[in-house]
Amino acid sequence: MTMLGRLACFFPIAHLSLILFAALMFVSHPGLATFLSILFSIYLLPPLLFRAYSLKYPSKSGRWVINNGQRCDWWIAHQLQMIYAAVPAFEAFLRLVPGLYSAWLRLWGSKVGKRVYWTPLVEIIDRHMLRIGDDVIFGHRVVCTSHVVSRKENGEFVLLLRCVRIGSGSFIGALSRLGPGVKIPAKSAIPYDTEYRFSYAE
């Protein structure tokens, strides 16, 4: 892991501290500016930092050995998104406003079409690695992850990172799980509690 990767490990606690500080400022000085600082801290700072990072190191699919000391862009993205795994309610609130969650995913770098419906408990693991068409419906507790890590016999931990792609007009049934590299054709209806996995052995 590079020095930047090591520093990124401290971002989640720094991010949480910033959110708490903004909340305390709002309590002591209530007003629009302090309220907006809370929203900025929670929702805008991480994706904007990631987009700035991506100007030099654009997101891309591929395979990496993550324990060999080399740069791993996924690790940076993972640390920037950690707060949303720790506090899922932050994302759930965005899904209550039509179109807002899709716009937020686009800010991360995903491509999300129009009129996509997200149920509140959908779980998106890699918010920058989605390619979704128009009029897609996500059922209750659907999980989309664009990465998987496996351990080889020589001790290497290999990361596979591939976008999840969902065609326009598709319905993703409740409890479905979509893994890295999965491509759902347009107008598909994915049954309840279905798992689609890319070939991890690639």
- pLDDT tens for residues 121-145? 999 999 999 999 999 999 999 999 9
What digits encode the pLDDT tens for the residues 16-36?
999 999 999 999 999 999 999
* Nearest CA among 190, 188, 191, 186 for reference residue 167: 186
What digits encode the pLDDT tens for the residues 80-110?
999 999 999 999 999 999 999 999 999 999 9
Q: Alpha helix (H) ranges present in the chain?
A: 3-8, 11-28, 32-39, 45-56, 73-80, 82-86, 89-94, 100-108
Enumerate residues 6+ apart whose C-beta is below 8 A from 154: none
**Cβ 161 vs Cβ 141: under 8 Å:** no
Sign of the Cα pseudo-torsion (82, 85, 89, 91, in order)? positive
pLDDT, position 202: 40
pLDDT at 200 over 60: no
**Cβ 51 vs Cβ 151: under 8 Å:** no
State the Cα angle at 76 between 73 and 80, rounded to 5°. Answer: 145
Fold that domain 3-196 belongs to in CATH: UDP N-Acetylglucosamine Acyltransferase; domain 1 (2.160.10)
Residue 109 DSSP label: T
Please report, for residues 98, 124, 146, 171, 174, the alpha-carbon distance to residue 191 in angstroms, rounded to integers and kept in the order given.
24, 19, 20, 9, 8
Predicted TM-score (pTM) of the model is 0.92
- HSE-up of residue 59 (Cα within 13 Å, Cβ side): 23
